[in-house]
Amino acid sequence: MKSAVLVFPGINRERDMARALKLASGNETAMVWHAETSLPKGTDLVVVPGGFSYGDYLRCGAIAARAPVMDAVRDFAARGGLVLGVCNGFQILCESGLLPGVLMRNAGLKFICRDVHMRVERSDTPFTRGYNAGQVIRVPVAHGEGNYEADEETLKRLEGDGRVLYRYCSPEGVVDEASNLNGAAHSIAGIVNERGNVLGMMPHPENHVEEIMGCTDGRGLFAGLVQQFERAA
Amino acid sequence: MKARVTVTLKSGILDPQGKAIEGALKSLGVDGVASVRQGKVFDIELAATDKAKAEAALKAAADKLLANTVIENYRVELL
């Protein structure tokens, strides 16, 4: 699997992401600067990492979403290429129009930095292939604006089409108000676009991939992506 | 030419920042505050002297960047 990680000024999780991708795929990851107008040839997966692009000025992800490289990402996604956005990356994908909805200020107004539990809603997608449907995984979050909101019609479509892939839950896998840390609509932690090739999620699976991190629950996502390309090959 | 673009949250969109400000105003003893919604103001200087062109440019700026029209409305004024 050949992956490309986008780099914007103010992004700070790109190295973690590249490390997790290399661990899963065995390949070096291309780091792609925001001013580029094309992606490296043969790219299988584009990752928009987390951080604070442009200092979160205007709205989180708003300025990065208009960077030159995003036109290349839009073309790539339109051709069916896989795109993963994590945290600020999710915000950037929403701002760029690749995903519906918006990430609002956390309902409790506080920046939240801790481990959360997520339920994997289905396992038959490139982004969840490494897990079982209903499996509960523990991954860290670190965000002030992770409260996913969309209009009723969009939420209905997301649910109806099974496009909510990850949902905040209790350690036992129960989706309730108490486990919905940021107030997101329908406890949404991660969604895909209509075609199913663009995933945005707030939690950081790349930070739970090695024993030294205290948990390896994030590995499944990357292993699943690698499997996807082995199947295709 | 000077212009102002005002961006406000659409009604029905939860505004936790506005709520926090509302609470602070109440605790400061400012009377009669029913609710607060927070928005943004952009003061823009334009090279254009043609009103219609200026308005078109401001609309484009708001649609492309200044406002997220999923959750926000905007108003353009030439000053």
Chain Cα centroid distance, residue A114: 17
How many domains would you assign to chain A? 1
Structural domain harbouring A220? 3-232
Distance between CA atoms of residues A48 and A5, nearest Å:
6
Contact criterion met (CB below 8 Å) for A142 and A201: no
Confidence (pLDDT) at A41: 96
Contacts of A183 in chain B (CB under 8 A): 14
Contacts of A57 in chain B (CB under 8 A): none
d(CA A183, nearest CA chain B) in Å: 10
**Contact state of A104 with B71 under an 8 Å Cβ cutoff:** yes
Q: Which residues of A touch B (CB under 8 A)?
A: 58-59, 62-63, 66, 95, 100-102, 104-109, 149-151, 183
Q: Which residues of A are catalytic?
A: 87, 204, 206
Structure tokens at A97: 């129009």
Task: Say what the ipTM of the complex is.
Answer: 0.84
- Rounded alpha-carbon distances, angstroms, from residue B16 to A10, A88, A147: 25, 20, 11
In tens digits, chain A (233 residues) has pLDDT values of 999 999 999 999 999 999 999 999 999 999 999 999 999 999 999 999 999 999 999 999 999 999 999 999 999 999 999 999 999 999 999 999 999 999 999 998 899 999 999 999 999 999 999 999 999 999 999 999 999 999 999 999 999 999 999 999 999 999 999 999 999 999 999 999 999 999 999 999 999 999 999 999 999 999 999 998 887 66
Chain B residue nearest residue A108, CA to CA: B16
**Contact state of A58 with B66 under an 8 Å Cβ cutoff:** yes
User: Which of B14, B20, B65 is closest, CB to CB, to A104?
Assistant: B14
Q: What share of chain A is helix, strand, coil (3-state, %, to 5)?
A: 30, 25, 45
CATH of the domain at A86: 3.40.50.880
- Domains in chain B: ranges and CATH: 2-78 (3.30.1280.10)
Contact criterion met (CB below 8 Å) for A222 and A209: yes
Closest-CA residue to A94 (of A86, A82, A102, A105): A102
Closest-CA residue to A173 (of A120, A110, A113): A120
Contact criterion met (CB below 8 Å) for A68 and A36: yes
Q: Does B70 touch chain A (CB under 8 A)?
A: yes
pTM attached to this predicted model: 0.94
